[in-house]
Amino acid sequence: MSRLVRHCKRLYFSYFSQPSSDRLVYRLLRKQRIRKILELGIGTGVRAQRMLQLATGDQYPPSISYTGVDLFESRSETDGPGLSLKLAHRQLKIGGARVRLVPGDPYSALARIANELGAIDLMLISADQDRQSLAKAWFYVPRIMHAETLVLLEDRPATEDVMKLSRVPRLQIEQWAAQTTPRRAAA
């Protein structure tokens, strides 16, 4: 793909793509050096594909690592549209990025992979994630963060019909993690 085509694609994703809430992610990928991405809830995989296209860019070999956590085949109709694990692997193996897909809800998946995941640069949390599972999963998030890690939480405000992505401050993450810290019973 020529440089001009890649540049046009980056501009399109950053300023005109739908849903508009994802544009923040695409702009971050253009401006910052993001090499390790964790996404909780990949849904149809469109955002993940676009992120990988932008993150790999002109780099060869690409040094992008993407981890996607999703229910995959365990999705119910109330969870919304999604991909099977096999189809997600097929769609996301683009540009030579290292792709790891982990089946499960946020808590069970992060409990399994947090120690081996290492520090990530960008964490995206989709609005379709189970809130109880996500509340428990915050315990594992500080151990996969470094000083520059960005955490974006997708939400649908009650008064609007459009999704919004907002940055979650590190202090807020640490507070949520402290609330879920396992407590040992007195002997």
Per-residue model confidence (pLDDT) at position 121: 95
Domain membership flag for residue 185: no
CATH number at residue 64: 3.40.50.150
What number of H helices and E strands is found in the chain?
7, 6
Predicted model pTM = 0.87
Per-residue model confidence (pLDDT) at position 19: 81
Q: Would the pLDDT of 86 be above 80?
A: yes
The per-residue pLDDT of the chain, averaged, comes to 85
Please tell me the distance from the alpha carbon of residue 64 to that of residue 49, in angstroms, as a whole number: 12
Domain count, the chain: 1
Domain membership flag for residue 109: yes
Domain membership flag for residue 186: no
pLDDT, tens only, 99-144: 999 999 999 999 999 999 999 999 999 988 999 999 999 999 999 9
Q: pLDDT band at residue 161, thresholds of 50, 70 and 90?
A: low
User: Of all helices (H) and strands (E), which one includes residue 39?
Assistant: strand 36-40
Q: pLDDT band at residue 64, thresholds of 50, 70 and 90?
A: confident
pLDDT, tens only, 11-27: 788 788 888 788 888 88
User: Of all helices (H) and strands (E), which one includes residue 135?
Assistant: helix 131-137
Domain membership flag for residue 147: yes
Q: Which SS3 state, helix, strand or coil, does residue 168 take?
A: coil
Range of the domain at 96: 3-179
Please tell me the distance from the alpha carbon of residue 59 to that of residue 63, in angstroms, as a whole number: 8
- What does the pLDDT average to over 36-49? 92
Domain membership flag for residue 187: no
Q: What is the DSSP letter of 155?
A: E
Domain membership flag for residue 15: yes
Strand partners, 38: 67, 123
- What does the pLDDT average to over 77-87? 82
Domain membership flag for residue 171: yes
